[in-house]
């Protein structure tokens, strides 16, 4: 049996380039791993896939991406092996932190390591994309640009200094499909922002206006969920240097100059809102802490 850790992400920047013929939206987004993780215990068996989550609100069947990832992997290696998987959930569900997608990618990487003779890297990417637009990022970790549906990953070198961020997790979630449906087509950006253009041209994140940018979905999601817009305003007024929504929400993240001010900002948040600090993880640290073995060089 092997244990792997499955780290969450934030979208430090997210721009929408437009709606595609397949109904998805073309994105240019900046992903970063953060130090908030689920745990997956994987045991190889003679056949079939079983998942235990120990929680009634977490599906253990094919609705769970872990099961679909394991089945797709095992089909790709041609049978003769199965997996028994236990998921210990810590990443809040439905918050835009990518927990389910992270679990799927961890399942793919974990099974590839454990069986020793997995599909090629390109095949893993293909399987990851078929599971969801966010899944491929979690095969890479660290800092990366996501293009296309967010599933074409360009890994970037680590930040010089990890970011210390505070997360505000409301008690409700936002549906990704609904968030994108609410995005007004006329707000699409034909041209990449200066930040993304600089990164695409090979510039460093430090020279590309810094890592935290905008999120084009904020206005649409705040329209769907006015209480989330109110939470955003409350955090801005509590002297946060910057407040952003991650992905399609509902998680907001904030940067503060002073940790005491940050802690104080947590007082008086709406009931049921979790408030805690996280930091970004570089690629080598992510790789090691995930349980994937010797560190891979990032960048």
Binding region for ligand C5P (CB under 6 A): 24-25, 27, 132-134, 149-150, 176-177, 180
| Nearest distance in Å: CB 27, ligand C5P | 5
Q: Which of 134, 151, 158, 216 is catalytic?
A: 134
Active site annotation includes 89: no
| Nearest distance in Å: CB 63, ligand C5P | 12
Q: Looking at beta carbons only, is 125 or 134 nearer to ligand C5P?
A: 134
Contact 13, 215 (CB under 8 A): yes
For residue 62, say if its preceding peptide bond is cis, omega within 30 degrees of 0: no
* Cα separations in angstroms, 272 against 195, 223, 228, 266, 289: 35, 21, 13, 11, 30
| Nearest distance in Å: CB 195, ligand C5P | 18
- Half-sphere exposure of residue 252, counting CA atoms within 13 Å on the CB side? 29
Q: Looking at beta carbons only, is 158 or 216 nearer to ligand C5P?
A: 216
Q: Looking at beta carbons only, is 180 or 222 nearer to ligand C5P?
A: 180
Give CA–CA dist 75/171, Å, rounded. 38
Active site annotation includes 134: yes
Quick count: other Cβ atoms within 10 Å of Cβ 64? 20
Strand-pair partners of 278: 165
Q: Looking at beta carbons only, is 29 or 290 nearer to ligand C5P?
A: 29
| Nearest distance in Å: CB 25, ligand C5P | 4
- Among all chains, which residue has been given the structure tokens 């590309």? 208
Q: Which of 9, 38, 89, 216 is catalytic?
A: 9
User: Strand runs (DSSP E) across 138-218, as ranges?
Assistant: 143-147, 152-156, 164-169
Among 247, 214, 252, 248, which residue's Cα sits nearest to residue 230? 252
| Nearest distance in Å: CB 151, ligand C5P | 8
Neighbouring residues of 52: CB distance < 8 A, sequence distance ≥ 6: 60, 84, 85, 86, 87
Q: Looking at beta carbons only, is 149 or 239 nearer to ligand C5P?
A: 149
Query: Which residues are tagged catalytic?
Result: 9, 134
């Amino acid at each position: 049996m092997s244990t792997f850790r499955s780290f969450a992400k934030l979208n430090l920047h997210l721009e929408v380039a437009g709606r595609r013929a397949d109904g998805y939206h073309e994105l240019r987004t900046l992903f970063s791993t953060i130090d908030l993780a689920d745990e997956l215990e994987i045991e190889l068996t003679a056949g079939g896939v079983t998942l235990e989550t120990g929680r009634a609100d977490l599906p253990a069947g094919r609705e769970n991406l872990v099961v679909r990832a394991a089945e797709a992997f095992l089909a790709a290696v041609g049978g003769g092996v199965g997996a028994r998987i236990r998921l210990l959930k810590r990443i809040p569900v439905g918050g835009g932190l990518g927990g389910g997608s992270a679990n799927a990618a961890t399942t793919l990487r974990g099974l590839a390591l454990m069986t020793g003779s997995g599909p090629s890297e390109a095949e893993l990417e293909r399987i990851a994309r078929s599971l969801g637009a966010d899944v491929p990022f979690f095969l890479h970790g660290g800092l990366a640009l996501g293009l296309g549906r967010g599933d074409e990953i360009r890994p970037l070198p680590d930040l010089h200094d990890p970011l210390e961020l505070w997360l505000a997790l409301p008690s409700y979630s936002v549906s990704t499909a609904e968030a994108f449906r609410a995005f007004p087509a006329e707000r699409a950006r034909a041209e990449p922002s200066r930040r993304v253009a600089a990164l695409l041209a090979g510039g460093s994140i430090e020279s590309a206006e810094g890592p935290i940018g905008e999120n084009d979905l904020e206005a649409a999601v705040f329209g769907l969920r006015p209480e989330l817009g109110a939470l955003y305003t409350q955090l801005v007024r509590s002297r946060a240097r910057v407040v952003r929504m991650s992905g399609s929400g509902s998680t907001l993240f904030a940067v503060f100059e002073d940790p005491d001010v940050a802690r104080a900002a947590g007082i008086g948040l709406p009931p049921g809102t979790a408030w805690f600090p996280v930091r970004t993880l570089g690629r080598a640290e992510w790789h090691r802490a995930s349980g994937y073995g010797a560190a891979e060089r990032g960048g």
